[in-house]
Each structure stands twice: as structure tokens, then as C-alpha cells.
Structure 1
Amino acid sequence: MNSMELKYGCNPNQKPASVSMEDGSDLPFEVLNGKPGYINLLDALNSWQLVKELKQALDMPAAASFKHVSPTSAAIGRKMSDRLKKACFVDDIQGLDDSLIATAYARARGTDRMSSFGDFIALSDVCDETCARLIKREVSDGIIAPGYTQEALDILEKKKSGRYLVLKMDPSYEPAAVEKKQVYGVTFSQKHNDVKLDRSCLTNIVTENKELPDEAKENMIIALIALKYTQSNSVAFAYDGQCIGIGAGQQSRVHCTRLAGGKADNWFLRQSDKVLSLPWKEGVKRPDKDNFLDRYIALEETPEAAIEIDWEEKFTEKPEPFTIAEKRALLAKEENVVLASDAFFPFSDNIERAIQSGVKYIVQPGGSTRDDVVLDYCNQHDLVMVCNGIRLFHH
């Protein structure tokens, strides 16, 4: 089948809508369940490229959580600590340690749970039963993967009263060398962005400190590949095999950095003793927990204001305030975080903000007339910076 009618375009009034293969070949994916929409497929095809490239670059199962054509996070499969499992609300998933593809998605979904609500999922590897059980209980619009075990498919087909979108991607598919799209009746064309992001693009270390460990290189690759499929301007913070904060689509790069840094702070603080020991009542739903934690953890939020909102409905006893001083003290201990940017940093204010979230390693294209200012600031703070000359704008 080389074409498919969709429910509608970006909005319900935009009908008719369809996808097709211009060369007459079959579509590279199969719909196993549900009916796709326009945005569903934009998320599916962009997120598939991301996880496919991560798997190729690092030889590890990879997953992404996508919303509105940008990832909320991307991660490789790696065992999770008990603390991280609890922070991601997956400490009750049986068999999680035995499924790397499930841990990859648990990490991606658990990074920025507010943004991942109603996400589209991409998996580099076959979806197994453990991963499907995790997906079953989260609010999500659909999934794309190269295959599914029968047990996983049986679970996913029942989600959303049988309407959950399940796509099977042909892993051997390669796009045409030139891609096209239309805007306002005008056709644009460009070479498909086939730049390879791996360890070979991390050799130009420009700072005085040139100690770049393998773990940092791995996190740089994860962040760079995520940015390749993130709406620009964009930056990503990465740590422990996953993106822990992505700032996407901002006109100012420092606003991207602030946004991503705030999400990285949230990820660290969710794993604090104060958050993990909150006395939740039995039956409080995960989205309700997320809504509370978003305010309880926020550095700009007064702790009393967060607690006073319906705490009786959520907790067996009134939580203690999580003071801003406590939060800053915990964040000051974090280190070895990676910061990646899809284009050069024009000012050192980005680096100043990044340091507040534990950034030690930076990768960016370079090429600003103020590169020397940014480099001097990195040297003053003993950071390691790679300038790889690769811009990753995505629109």
C-alpha cells in the first residue's frame, strides 16, 4: 500500500488528509491497530529515525518519548537504580531488569512526565511484554517499533478501548536522498540529513581540560542524536544514558538552556529523599502525582503554596516543605552532566546557566564571532568543550 487516508490533518477542520509514497513504493510501516492521524505519523517517523540512529551509534536498545514533533526524552536500555525506578513510578513493574527495551522506555517516559503525558513512543527493538505492560498504564497516543511479541501486541491492542495506534516499521527502509515538503503551496526540497553522529565527531576538544571519559562521549551522542530530531532552537542535557532535559523551539538559545536546565533539575530532585518519601495515599493516580511534584520541586515555587493545594486528597499526612535552599544544596552536588546544542552558543550566559545543573561537558558546533568568550568562560570553570562543526537545525 503506497498511500493512506488519515483521520484529519493537524486540526480536525483540515480534511482531507493523507500520506503517500511519491515513487509509488509501499509505505515503510504497517498499521497493526488503530487509525493514524497526521501528527501521529510526524511523531512516529521522526522518533523512529532517532531511536534507529541511537541503536546504530551505541549498539544498545533505544527508546524515545515524543510530543508535537520533538522528543521529551530519549534513552538507551540500561538497568535502573531502585531510586530511579521509584522516581519514574516503575518500581512495581515485574521483570524490568530483564528487558533493556523496557528500561529504555521507562527512562525516556520518566524524565519529563508532564511533557510525556499523551506521548508517541518509538522503540529501536521489538516491544516485549514487559515494555507493553509499562505502556499499558500510561496515557499515550501510539507506538512505532520494528516488531512486537504476541503477548505485547495482545496488551497494546486493548489500550484506549482498542483504539491505540500500533505501527510496525520496516527496519530496512531507507529514505530517498532528497526530501520535499510544501508550505503555502510552495514546494521545498533538500538533501536528507544523513550526517552520522558518533564518537568520531567528538575529537575536537577546544578547552584546556581535555579529559573526556567514555561515559560523557556516550551521553554526548545521545544528546546530539536527540537534537537532530528536535525543533530548533534546541539544547539537551544528558546523563546516565538518557536525555534529562530538552529545551526545544525557542527563539533565544539561552531560553532553551533555561528550559532544559529546569527539566534536568526536576529530574535530579525527583530522586531526592524528600520526594521519594512523600506519604502518598493509596490510589493517587500518577498524573496527579506529577502535577503536584511539578510545583513541589520547582525552584521558583514557594514550598507552602505547593503543599496547600488539596494535600488532604493526596497524602496521609501533610508533607514537609521542600525549601528552595534545600533544593539548591542538592543540585550543587550534581556533576558530570552533558550539554549539547544544535547550533553555536552566542554568549556565555548559556554556560553560566548550565553549570547550575551540574554540566561538566559541552558539545556544540562552534562558529560564533564570540567563540573566544564562551571558550574563556569554560576554561575559567574547568569545563570540557567539544566543537564538532555540525549544526543540527530541524524544522
Structure 2
Amino acid sequence: MELRYGINPGQAATAEPVVAGDWPVRVVNGEPSYINVLDALNGWQLVREASLGLGRVAAASFNHVSPAGAAVAGDLDEVAAGLYGVRGGGVGELTSAYLRARDADPKSSYGDFVAVSRPVDLELAEVLGGLVSDGIVAPGFEAGTVERLSRKKNGRFLVMEADQDFVPPREEMREVYGVRLTQERPEEAVGPAVAGEDLRLGMVVARYTQSNSVCYVRDGMTIGIGAGQQSRVDCTRLAGAKADIWWLRRHPKVSGLTFRDEVRRQERINWQVRWCEGDLTAYERERFDQALAEPAQELTSAERAEWIVRLDGVAFVSDGALPFRDNVDHAQRHGVRSIAEPGGSIRSDEVAKACSEYGITLTRTGVRLFHH
């Protein structure tokens, strides 16, 4: 398969199956780039594994080979439903799973690659028609959906179909700078030893997120993912800040922001996020005020703090062992009540002690989930 280009424009690139003719995905519309293929392969594996392990429809929103968000089907709250112009209790499982995944970090999901575990239906195709996305991978497409999706991006929207029956080779190979690396393919992350749907979903998400990675999960959806950080505690803090933003977007002063009719959906979302972050530049503040139909009610530091402490019932998953208790100290600030991590660090006793102090249930999985 000739690819549009490699990781960067100007780099010629191709893709071919390990076993001649045995493709895990096929192109239905559009022309993939190198990164598109990586997003499709990682995204499909994530939603397939999550759906099989949890018995529910799963979706993910990928950007730069890591999920910006992932979720299983469930209720959409009023904030998410309002932003995407749907009725929270009136959408199908596939649409709810994707919108819950996208709403985890909607700023990072701009121009995402969508992955869903069930064939695309007309409802999801219509919803995607109004969002900025680059492509989708799914195990099939109902009648009329490919035609609807192919109208996006002037016909360049990438549609890829996954083979549900594909069995990957036992060994995986990569060539870097003249060196060929070979390793066994890891076992699937979800297992019966881990109790709780949120922790199990978090393990699947961590497996397909660039390491170091952690994720915060609540009610079957990620609300904060930290990817690719050299320091694990930096990853924990980054993902925690995203979880706080997700929660602050539900504050009445934020969800109640009224924008001018001409302001597009993604702009409204971006302004909500920036307003929650609380550090608008003078230039941004001027543009923000211009985008509003009515002046914003200021969100004070006290109101912000009082709202954040209400966040509760959050699960936290780390792809590697927590090396210090500081990860627990930071995680508990974001409503974490359960943690899953491999264990085995030289300070594991300190990590366990911190969990006990905060009333956090700790699960040692014995499984490292690094992904590079």
C-alpha cells in the first residue's frame, strides 16, 4: 500500500502486511498517511479489547498515536449532550460511546482519528459529519454511512474497515536506524484479577497510550490521560489537570456560557477549556469576550476549589509501577478512590501506605503496560 506520506510530508512511505494478503484493516475511502495507519491499528486494538473485556460498545478518539479519550457506551450528561447538539438519553450506544470518549479532552480530540468497536450506523455518521475529524476505523459500515462520511474533508476523510477475525502474528518486529527489533506480542491487558470496570478500562487505555502513561477513569470513560512523559509524577499531574478541566466544564458558570450564534462548536469548546484553565492572555480575553453573547460570570478561586473537591469516584491506572508516593498524593486531589498499578518498585510499601491514608483501594496487577 502506497501511503500519502510518512511521519512528515516529504517522506515517502509504504505499508504491507506481514503475511502476504492478510491485512488487519483495509481502506474504504481516502488515502492514509503513516500516522493514520498507526492511529487506526492502535485505536482498533484498544476498542476491540475494551469491548471484548467489558462486554460493551467501546470507542476511542486518537491523536498522534495516543488516545485523547476512550469510553464505553453510557449516559451522556447535559453538558456533553448540549455541546454536541444531541439528546443525552436519546442517542444509540455507538454515538454515546464516541461522544463520551471525545468529551474527555475535546481540545485534544480536534482532528482526531475515531475508533469504534461496532459497525458505524447512520446516527454516528451524521454526528461525525458535524465534527472535525481525520478518519475512522470500524469493523463495518451500515448502508449509506460510507457515502455520508466520504463527503467530509472534500472527499479525503479516511474510512478504514477492521477485520474482526484477524489474528496477529505472535511476534512483532520494528526496524530503527539499521537495527531490527523483535519481541513477543503482549497478552491482553484486561483480566478477571482486576475488579471494577473503570480500572479494567483504564488498563486497556494505558496499554495503547505512549509511555509513561496514566489515566483517570470515571463511569466508563476516561476524564484525563497523560501520555509520553519522562517523569511518571509529571504524567499524573498532567492527567489530573485534565480531569479537573473535565469536571470544571460541568460548573454552572462554565456550562452556562452563552456564545454568539456564529461561533462554531469547536471554538465554544476551546473557549470553555481555556476559561477553566484560568490563565487567559490579554489577547485571548479580548477575543473570548467578543465570542460571548452575554458577559461571563467570573469563576473565583474559591468557587473553583469548592467545585473540584466534589469530584469523586475516580479510578486511576498507571502503565508502570508507581516509584514514589507522590503519585498517590497528587492523584487523590482529583477524586481518586481506586488505583491499579503493576507494583514492584523499591518504595511499594510507601505507595501502599499513602493509599491507606487516603482510603484508596490499591490493586497490584503485576502487569506492566509500556507502549512505545
TM bucket (normalised to shorter chain) is: over 0.9
Q: How many residues are aligned here? A: 372
1:169-199 alpha-carbon deviations (Å, 9 max, x no partner)? 111101000010111121100011123413x
Following the alignment from structure 2 to structure 1, what is the Cα–Cα distance between the partners of residues 166 and 305?
47
Match of 2:362 in 1: 385
Paired position in structure 1 for 2:116 = 123
1:172-211 to structure 2, matched below 5 A, reads 172-198=165-191, 200-202=192-194
Aligned to 2:242: 263
Deviation at 1:226, TM superposition (A): 0.4
Q: Which amino acid is the alignment partner of residue 51 of structure 1?
A: V
The one of 16, 19, 29 equivalent to 1:20 is 16
Provide closer, same or farther for how the CA distance between residues 168 and 180 of structure 1 changes in structure 2, counting only shifts above 3 A: same
Q: TM-score, normalised by structure 1?
A: 0.91
Does residue 278 in structure 1 map to residue 257 in structure 2? yes
Q: Give the conservation status (yes or no) of the 8 Å contact 1:296–1:307.
A: no
Which secondary structure state, in structure 1, belongs to the residue aligned with residue 119 of structure 2? coil
Give the secondary-structure state (helix, strand or coil) at the position aligned to 2:206.
helix
Could you tell me how far apart the structure 2 residues matched to 1:294 and 1:251 are? 25
Cα offset, 1:95, TM superposition:
8.8
**In structure 2, distance between residues paired with 1:259 and 1:154:** 39
Is 2:142 the counterpart of 1:149?
Answer: yes
> Greater shift after overlay, 369-378 or 96-105?
96-105
Instruction: Give the secondary structure class of the aligned counterpart of 1:130.
Output: helix
Distance 1:388 1:278, change over 3 A: same
Displacement after TM superposition at 1:337 (Å): 0.3
1:10 equivalenced with 2:4 (yes/no) = no
Tell me how far apart the structure 2 counterparts of residues 14 and 308 of structure 1 sit (CA, whole Å): 40
Residue of structure 2 in register with 1:213 after alignment? none
For residue 262 of structure 1, report the CA deviation from its aligned partner.
0.7
Contact 2:337 2:360 in 1 (8 A): yes
Partner of 1:228: 207
Counting only pairs closer than 5 Å after superposition, residues 32-181 of structure 1 correspond to structure 2 as 32-86=28-82, 89-90=83-84, 92-93=85-86, 97-181=90-174
Structure 1 letter corresponding to 2:166: Y
**Counterpart of 2:26 in structure 1: which amino acid?**
E
Matched, 1:368 2:342: no
Q: In the alignment, does 2:11 pair up with 1:30?
A: no
Counterpart CA distance in 2 for 1:97 and 1:383 is 35
Amino acid at match of 1:168: E
Q: What's the TM-score, normalizing by structure 2?
A: 0.96
**What is the rounded CA distance, in whole Å, between the counterparts of 2:356 and 2:305 in structure 1?**
24
Distance in 2 separating the partners of 1:37 and 1:303: 35
Q: Secondary structure at the match of 2:366?
A: coil
Output the CA distance in 2 between the equivalents of 1:160 and 1:308.
31
1:294, CA displacement in angstroms?
A: 2.3
Residue by residue, what CA displacement relative to the aligned partner does 1:201-231 show, whole Å, maximum 9, x if unpaired? 226xxxxxxxxxxxxx100011110000000
Structure 1 position 310, deviation (Å): 1.6
SS at match of 1:351: helix
CA distance in 2, matches of 1:370, 1:95: 44
Once the two structures are TM-superposed, the CA of residue 163 in structure 1 deviates from its matched residue by: 0.8
Superposition deviation, residue 312 in structure 1: 3.9
Contact conserved, 1:97 with 1:103, CA < 8 A, in 2?
Answer: no
Cα RMSD of the aligned pairs, angstroms, is: 1.7
2:343 counterpart of 1:356: no
Q: Secondary structure at the match of 1:51?
A: helix
CA distance in 1, matches of 2:280, 2:62: 31
Report Cα offsets for 1:239-284 as digits up to 9, x if no partner. Answer: 0111110000000000000110011111111111111111211121
Q: Residue in 2 aligned with 1:212? A: none
- Work out whether residues 170 and 185 of structure 2, in 8 Å CA contact, stay in contact via their aligned partners in 1: yes
1:38-68 per-position Cα deviation (integer Å, ceiling 9, x unaligned): 0000000001000000110011110000011
1:333 is aligned to 2:326: no
